[in-house]
């Protein structure tokens, strides 16, 4: 199946107070077929609205053009003022690769947008970031220097000739900046202090610092301090240009430390636009380690990060509206794993080759690890078992995540078999077709073997944890551990039989011998571990 290509576009328009204009621009994006408007974030003090939308590359360009057309009619920069630096009505319009799209492709998208918008609207356009080859005008701050008020003089200088459009000042518009960049996190930390105190902290943390002789603490961080009238507080306003280099939670903690030194209070933070799931989970893992917590489930990790960062302080942080992966995610294509137990078993019983023994083996193994995980979690947190807390914290994660991974293999096995059947149907009329067909059969067979072999390895990796649960789990749940152990061994044996049935047809002798050797070792080990687990349970009673 062809994977969807997703580009994010985050145009910033210099209007944050007039709801009719804000909504008209949003409608222009929303009504463009093939795109999804994810977020509209207006600010009265900044007099600026950030729109976030995603879609296929060509549709994203169209939506950006549609929004620019509306802004050309409705926004007049001659009457604009606000806290945020700006150079034009559509101040900046970046294109960001999200899924199955490269940065180079986004560079070309930004150039195509610049060409079309400059020609149609008669406006000057500058390129920035990855789309701009000239170092002195690569950063947004370099292009914005002097802002809208200084543009009339700046645009006349040869070194500041626009990349597209007329080299002249358009009073009602200004200029637009477009390009391709990494995912940017716009994030504000709330300060019960003055604008000047917030800006002092901003100068300390941002990469540029106070200048070349006094750089700031964090790379890939831009920041300024400002006062937000509608919130009645100051903010350190931050852009993280690469959150993998410097993540928000590290900066948040540093701002808290510096605010404490200044005897001023930090009262949470605010996300402007969207954030990648990874950044939230990085924050959660940081606080889990720092505080010695035990949190496994993704939604609980998100809640932890939101609470520690105070992301509910201005408005409620809703993960499904703020985390980009949740917004653009499509339903996972796992028809078997997502089916009811009744439907799954009936599909196995049907007169079709899939799902078959491979999918059943993955499901049986997953039931085995799930039962062990259940017993461990029922033991954890109970007062009379508190002395086992550290041991349980070690055994629950491999069982919890092992179960999730094994569930995903249910559909993987059926998909692998279907690919093999498709290879068998390839034409074989010519020598070239025969060669191509044989290669496809060999590769699909290897894949059909690798899937149950992976099931074996995943299941095998859970034995130590299961045996530990047999030793320390609540003995009242002994039958659950026994059934779990037997199911895990059966799942491994079943996956092993699925490996064996296809292995003789593989021509690659080295591959065949390696898989056979390792799978025989795992299945023999499973028999031993089953006996060990059952003996432990029997001895405890």
418 phi and psi, to 5 degrees? -60, -40
Structure tokens at 294: 């035990």
SS3 328: helix
Residues 6 or more apart in contact with residue 175 via CB below 8 angstroms = 87, 88, 123, 124, 125, 126, 151, 155, 162
Query: Of the residues 39, 41, 411, 413, which is catalytic?
Result: 413
What is the separation of C-alpha 110 from the centre of its chain, rounded to a whole number of angstroms? Answer: 23
Residues 6 or more apart in contact with residue 419 via CB below 8 angstroms = 444, 447, 448
Task: State the Cα–Cα distance between residues 325 and 48, nearest whole angstrom.
Answer: 25
DSSP 123-140: --EEEEETT---GGG-SH
Looking at the DSSP bridge assignments, the partners of residue 9 are 53, 95
Are 39 and 274 in contact by the 8 Å Cβ rule? The answer is yes
CA dihedral angle for residue 24, residue 26, residue 30, residue 34, rounded to 10 degrees: 120
From residue 71, alpha-carbon distances to 22, 44, 82, 518 in Å are: 9, 17, 17, 64
Task: State the Cα–Cα distance between residues 375 and 41, nearest whole angstrom.
Answer: 46
Task: State the Cα–Cα distance between residues 486 and 491, nearest whole angstrom.
Answer: 9
Looking at the DSSP bridge assignments, the partners of residue 88 are 174
Instruction: Identify the CA nearest to 532 among candidates 480, 479, 464, 474.
Output: 464
Query: Of the residues 84, 163, 199, 480, which is catalytic?
Result: 84
Task: State the Cα–Cα distance between residues 122 and 84, nearest whole angstrom.
Answer: 25
Annotation says 249 is catalytic: no
Q: What is the C-alpha R_g of the chain? A: 29
Annotation says 413 is catalytic: yes
Structure tokens at 474: 């609540």
Task: State the Cα–Cα distance between residues 329 and 6, nearest whole angstrom.
Answer: 11
Are 355 and 348 in contact by the 8 Å Cβ rule? The answer is yes
Which runs of E-coded beta strand occur in 333-453? none
Edge-to-edge strand ranges of the sheet holding 233-240? 221-228, 233-240, 185-192, 265-272
> Which residues belong to the active site?
84, 413
């Amino acid at each position: 199946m062809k994977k969807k290509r997703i580009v994010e576009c985050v145009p910033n328009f210099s209007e944050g107070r007039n709801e009719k204009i804000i909504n008209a621009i949003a409608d222009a994006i929303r009504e463009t077929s093939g795109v999804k408007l994810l977020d509209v974030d207006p600010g009265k003090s900044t007099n600026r609205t950030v729109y976030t939308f995603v879609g296929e590359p060509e549709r994203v360009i169209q939506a950006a053009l549609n929004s620019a057309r509306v802004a050309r009619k409705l926004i007049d920069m001659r009457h604009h003022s606000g806290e945020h630096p700006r150079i034009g009505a559509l101040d900046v319009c970046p294109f960001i690769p999200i899924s199955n799209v490269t940065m180079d492709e986004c560079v070309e998208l930004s150039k195509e947008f610049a060409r079309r918008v400059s020609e149609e609207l008669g406006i000057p356009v500058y390129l920035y970031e990855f789309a701009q080859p000239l170092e002195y005008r690569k950063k947004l701050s370099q292009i914005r220097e002097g802002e809208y008020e200084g543009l009339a003089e700046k645009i006349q200088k040869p070194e500041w000739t626009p990349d597209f459009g007329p080299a002249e000042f358009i009073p009602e518009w200004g200029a637009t900046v477009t390009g391709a960049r990494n995912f940017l996190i716009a994030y504000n930390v709330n300060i019960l202090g003055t604008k000047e105190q917030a800006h002092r902290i901003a100068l300390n943390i941002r990469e540029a610092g106070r200048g070349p002789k006094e750089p700031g603490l964090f790379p890939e961080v831009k920041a300024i301090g400002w006062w937000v009238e509608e919130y009645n507080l100051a903010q350190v306003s931050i852009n993280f240009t690469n959150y993998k280099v410097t993540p928000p939670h590290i900066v948040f903690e540093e701002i808290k430390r510096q605010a404490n030194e200044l005897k001023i209070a930090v009262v949470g933070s605010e996300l402007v636009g969207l954030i990648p799931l990874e950044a939230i989970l990085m924050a959660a893992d940081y606080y889990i380690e720092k505080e010695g917590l035990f949190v496994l489930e993704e939604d609980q990790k998100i809640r932890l990060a939101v609470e520690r960062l105070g992301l509910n302080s201005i408005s409620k942080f809703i993960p499904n509206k703020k985390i980009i992966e949740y917004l653009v995610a499509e339903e996972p294509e796992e028809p078997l794993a997502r089916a009811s137990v009744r439907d799954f078993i009936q599909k196995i019983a049907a007169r079709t080759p899939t799902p078959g023994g491979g999918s059943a083996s993955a499901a049986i193994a997953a039931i085995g690890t799930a039962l062990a995980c259940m017993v461990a979690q029922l033991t954890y947190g109970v007062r009379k078992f508190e002395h086992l807390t550290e041991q349980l914290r070690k055994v629950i994660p491999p069982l919890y995540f092992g179960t999730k991974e094994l569930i995903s293999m249910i559909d993987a096995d059926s998909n692998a078999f279907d690919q093999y059947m498709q290879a068998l149907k390839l034409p074989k009329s010519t020598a070239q077709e025969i060669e191509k067909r044989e290669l496809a059969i060999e590769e699909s067979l290897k894949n059909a073997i690798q899937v149950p072999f992976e099931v074996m390895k995943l299941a095998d990796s859970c034995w130590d944890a299961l045996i530990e649960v047999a030793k320390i789990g609540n003995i009242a749940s002994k039958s659950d551990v026994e059934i779990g152990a037997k199911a895990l061994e059966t799942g491994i044996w079943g996956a092993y039989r699925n490996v064996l049935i296809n292995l003789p047809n593989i021509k690659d002798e080295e591959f065949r011998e390696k898989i056979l050797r390792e799978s025989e070792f795992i299945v023999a080990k499973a028999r031993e571990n089953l006996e060990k687990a059952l003996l432990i349970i029997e001895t405890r009673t």
